[in-house]
Amino acid sequence: MPETIFDKIIRREIPADIVFEDEHVLAFRDIAPKAPVHVLFIPKTPIATLNDANPAQAELLGRLILAAAGWAKAQGFAENGYRVVMNCNGDGGQTVFHIHLHLLAGRAMAWPPG
Ligand code: AMP
């Protein structure tokens, strides 16, 4: 798959406001936040879209979600609540083709999303 800007963030070639990292997952603040808290959780192993994920990557996908939930708890807003979203392809609104979980918090979210 072609490189994305997120590969450069993983390699520290471009700056990002990194808030969490472990062996498998990196999380950094979205450059164009849509909520008071807007963090992207990405796997260090790139997967272009959710359509490209395979069963061998189930653990990695689980790590992504658990990293977001763990960070929300550590930050103290988990009880108030938050939203996690993964956009897929054009109709989903995906613009960067390295899967990422958006964690949005700090305000009440509307439903349905636009
Ligand atoms: P999506 O539209 O779901 O693919 O989300 C891509 C997200 O990446 C958008 O919310 C962008 O604002 C964000 N983004 C793009 N470039 C950067 C960057 N260099 N640092 C942080 N966030 C970025």
Question: How would you write the chain as a 3-class SS string?
Answer: CCCCHHHHHHCCCCCCCEEEECCCEEEEECCCCCCCEEEEEEECCCCCCHHHCCHHHHHHHHHHHHHHHHHHHHHCCCCCCEEEECCCHHHHCCCCCCCCEEEEECCCCCCCCC
Mean pLDDT across the chain: 97
Spatial separation of the C-alpha atoms in residues 112 and 59, rounded to whole Å:
29
Q: Which of 10, 37, 96 to mutate to test the pocket of ligand 1 (most atoms within 8 A of CB)?
A: 96
Tell the residue nearest (CA) to atom 17 of ligand 1: 31
Query: Quick check: 114 pLDDT over 90?
Result: no
Domain boundaries, the chain: 5-105
Query: Quick check: 74 pLDDT over 90?
Result: yes
Q: Residue 39: what pLDDT?
A: 99
Q: pLDDT exceeding 70 applies to what percent of the chain?
A: 100
The CATH code of the domain at 5-105 is: 3.30.428.10
pLDDT tens digits for range 43-52: 999 999 999 9
Q: pLDDT exceeding 90 applies to what percent of the chain?
A: 97
Q: Residue 3: what pLDDT?
A: 95
